[in-house]
Homo-oligomer: A and B are copies of this chain.
Amino acid sequence: MNPEPFLQLDRVIHEKGRLAIMSLLAASPHLSFTELRDTLSLTDGNLTAHVRTLQESGYVAITKSYKGPRPLTTFALTPTGEKAFASYINLLEQIVQQMKQAQ
């Protein structure tokens, strides 16, 4: 078995909450705080912490605006985030193939 793909996995994306967030954002142009939180059953605190980590890595952009009188926070993948996500999927696919052969 080749351990390289395991070692190369991006720790920022690999955490399962962030992996779910990145996957949802890859499938939509942008999502609101509420949409992400409710789809993934995360607490406000957990979602905030994960999004901060993703933002600090340059993977997610945060937009604050208003929907009528209410503040609206939306998230979207950045081009850097899209590239990192694509590399991660690629590695994960190699790993799944290796794991299936290992069994």
| Residue ranges of A at the interface with B (Cβ–Cβ < 8 Å) | 1, 3, 6-7, 9, 11, 14, 16-17, 19-20, 23-24, 26-27, 39-41, 85-86, 89, 92-93, 95-96, 98-103
Contacts and interface: CB of A to CB of B under 8 A. Distances in A.
B39 A24 contact: no
A99 B26 CA distance: 8
Contacts of A93: 96, 100
Given A1-B27, A16-B14, A99-B23, A92 B92 contact: yes
A57 B50 CA distance: 26
A6 B85 CA distance: 15
Given A1-B23, A19-B95, A92-B96, 12 more contacts: A3-B20, A3-B24, A6-B16, A6-B40, A23-B95, A23-B98, A23-B102, A26-B103, A86-B103, A92-B95, A93-B96, A96-B96
